[in-house]
Structure formats: C-alpha cells, structure tokens
Structure 1
C-alpha cells in the first residue's frame, strides 16, 4: 500500500483520499453514528427512568412507614 502513495503529492494522501472516502462511505458513517448515538440516548433514558422510579418508591416507602408510626 505504501508503494502506491509514494510518488504522489501530500495533498492527494491527506486531502483527496479522505474526501473521496467521505463521499463514498459518508452515508454509512452517518447511519452508524446515528445508531450509536440513539442506543446511548436510550441507555441513558432507561437509567434515568429506573433511577427516578427507585427514588419515588423509596420516598413513598419512607413516607408511608413514618405515617404508620402515628
């Protein structure tokens, strides 16, 4: 692979080839990125909802047990 790029100018290696790769694989990269961000968002949402549920249940349990002491 190194022999292929040896005689070419620097801008071909560092500008043109990555630009062509982005044009060809841009849709694939964006869809994978969107999928990963969507999964991360769903995991964070799940963790927040479970944490909120645990908080509400503990708050309710402590308040109901303090009421039964009366």
Structure 2
C-alpha cells in the first residue's frame, strides 16, 4: 500500500482519499453512528429508570419499616 501512495502528493493522501471514502461510505458511517448513539441513549435511559426504581423501593421499604403497626 505504501508503494501506491509513495509518488503521490500529500493532498491526495490526506484530502482526496478521505473525501472519496466519506462519499462512498458516508451513508453507512452515518447509520452506524446513529445506531451507536441510539443504543447508548437507550442504555442511559435504562440505567436511570432502574436506578430510580431502586431508589423508590428503598425509600418505601425504609419508611414502612419505621412505622410498624
């Protein structure tokens, strides 16, 4: 691979090739990034909901154990 780019100017390696890659694989890259961001958001919502449930259950159990009949 180095032999192919050896005689090329710097802008071919650092500008043209990445731009061509973004044009060709841009939709794929965008869908993968969107999927990962969506998955991370769902994991964050799950963690917050489970944490809130644990907090509420502990508060309820603590308050119910104090006021025994």
Classify the TM-score, shorter chain.
over 0.9
What is the TM-score of this pair, normalised by structure 2? 0.94
How many residues of Structure 1 are paired with residues of Structure 2 in the alignment? 69
In structure 2, C-alpha distance between the alignment counterparts of 1:14 and 1:44, rounded to whole Å:
36
What is the TM-score of this pair, normalised by structure 1? 0.92
Find the counterpart in structure 1 of residue 10 from structure 2. 10
Output the aligned Cα RMSD. 1.0
**What displacement does 1:12 show?**
0.5
For structure 2, which runs of at least 5 residues remain unmatched after alignment?
none
Structure 1 runs (4+) deviating above 6 angstroms are none
In structure 2, C-alpha distance between the alignment counterparts of 1:68 and 1:34, rounded to whole Å:
51
